């Protein structure tokens, strides 16, 4: 004797990042003490597609925004420096400093670009950002940001403004400099900035000492 099954779908409570449906089969009737003969047809259950990784939102509309008013506001806030030196060089040591700086800028310290990138890419893991390069705002994606910073350190020319618009906070880096300036860093952003700077082997200090 064949046994037929009613199939009903029961919603599964959302757990973590997984959602889906559970299939529950329940027999209508079954004669007592008689084995079921013939194949049992199970209800087809299409696999639930795996959740796709969330990508950063499209920056097309963001890059069309006029960020200058926000940038100008941040430039008026307290500034900090991410530098390879723990303190500002005193005026009477200027000659020695410039000789060393020129040596490093001549390509003798490629690790400095890597150290600055470690800080910037670390911040980018937590908050989206847009960046201005040569007068144009664009998405601050890892590849574009990396190539821009490497070019600034390699050529000594150009400027970068990296705007974390949700914080908000602004980081600036110019070709020919061995430090970054940060405006408006506070709260969790400032905490992460300090931790990433230390981990990269750099120093975070107030811009005006």
Domain that holds residue 89: 60-206
DSSP β-bridge partners for residue 136: 133
Count: domains in the chain: 2
Token pair 């905490």 in the structure block, residue: 191
Q: Is 8 exposed, middle or buried (0-12, 13-18, 19+ CB in 10 A)?
A: exposed
Helix (H) or strand (E) segment spanning residue 68: helix 68-74
For 1, other C-beta atoms within 10 Å of its C-beta total: 10
- 71/32 same-domain check: no
**CA–CA dist 164, 101 (Å, integer):** 29
Question: pLDDT per residue over 132-148, tens digit each?
Answer: 987 888 889 999 999 99
Mean pLDDT by groups of 10 residues along the chain of 209 residues: 43 40 44 48 47 49 72 92 90 82 80 93 94 87 93 89 93 92 93 96 87
- 69/12 same-domain check: no
- 121/182 same-domain check: yes
């Amino acid at each position: 004797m064949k046994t037929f099954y009613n199939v009903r779908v029961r919603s599964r409570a959302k757990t973590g990042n997984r959602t889906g449906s559970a299939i529950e089969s329940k027999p209508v009737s079954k004669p007592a003490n008689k084995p079921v003969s013939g194949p049992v047809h199970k209800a087809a259950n299409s696999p639930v597609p795996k959740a796709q990784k969330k990508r950063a939102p499209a920056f097309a509309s963001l890059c069309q925004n006029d960020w200058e008013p926000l940038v100008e506001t941040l430039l008026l806030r307290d500034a900090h420096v991410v530098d390879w030196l723990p303190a500002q060089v005193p005026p009477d040591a200027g000659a020695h400093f410039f000789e060393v700086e020129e040596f490093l800028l001549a390509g003798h310290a490629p690790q400095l670009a890597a150290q600055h990138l470690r800080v910037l890419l670390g911040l980018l893991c937590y908050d989206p950002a847009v960046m201005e390069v040569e007068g144009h705002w664009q998405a601050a994606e890892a590849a574009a940001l990396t190539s821009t910073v490497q070019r600034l350190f390699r050529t000594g020319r150009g400027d970068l403004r990296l705007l974390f618009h949700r914080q908000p906070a602004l980081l600036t880096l110019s070709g020919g400099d061995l430090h970054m300036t940060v405006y408006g860093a506070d709260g969790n952003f400032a905490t992460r900035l300090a931790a990433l700077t230390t981990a990269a082997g750099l120093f975070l200090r107030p811009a005006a000492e």
